[in-house]
Amino acid sequence: MGIRAALLLFNAAIKHAEAVRRNFEAANATPEEIVEEAVSVTDPLLKFVKSVPDSEFRERFAGRYGSGGPLDYFYELAEIIWEHDKNFEPDGLTEYRASKDDQRIKEAESTIKFIENRITEIIVGYFKKIHGNNYWTYMGTKETRVKA
């Protein structure tokens, strides 16, 4: 997971605990109280890590390299907590979630375009095999060929 991501998550958990717990201020708390509050906030994440199959964990967390890797890890971890507590929204989580949606849309569009192009290649290849390079003159009416 990475030390930086863990520290970012710990900080976010403390800030969240301060925001939602009436009598908790990290500046006036003992280290034990801070850890207790942070663990309470991150409990959904701890349960997830204990129960998730390795393949699902790898799918969600693999391939995070470079300077943006720790932030990606942090936001993925924070999102797991957010899924159980919609009030847990560390700075940047909303934007990160939106960018993931944009990325999924781009990936879907790319996949659809690939499929469309591949189908066209297969069909054109088949017609060329049957009719040769002048296959188009054998297809449809003259008006259809002009429109296309």
Tell me the pLDDT tens digit for each residue of 112-128: 888 888 998 898 888 88
Residues 57 and 122 both lie in one domain: no
Q: For the whole model, what pTM was predicted?
A: 0.61
pLDDT of residue 42: 92
User: Can you point out the beta strands (E) in the chain?
Assistant: none
- Are 37 and 25 in contact by the 8 Å Cβ rule? The answer is no
Mean pLDDT of 21-32: 91
Domain extent at residue 58: 3-91
pLDDT of residue 80: 92
Residues 82 and 59 both lie in one domain: yes
Residues 53 and 115 both lie in one domain: no
Contacts of 14 (CB under 8 A, 6+ apart): 26, 34, 37, 38
**Is 41 inside a domain boundary?**
yes
Residues 137 and 115 both lie in one domain: yes
Task: Report the helix count and the strand count for the chain, using DSSP H and E.
Answer: 6, 0
**Is 98 inside a domain boundary?**
no
Residues 18 and 57 both lie in one domain: yes
Residues 45 and 87 both lie in one domain: yes
pLDDT band at 106 (very low <50, low <70, confident <90, very high): confident
**Is 70 inside a domain boundary?**
yes
- Are 2 and 73 in contact by the 8 Å Cβ rule? The answer is yes
Residues 39 and 73 both lie in one domain: yes
Domain count, the chain: 2
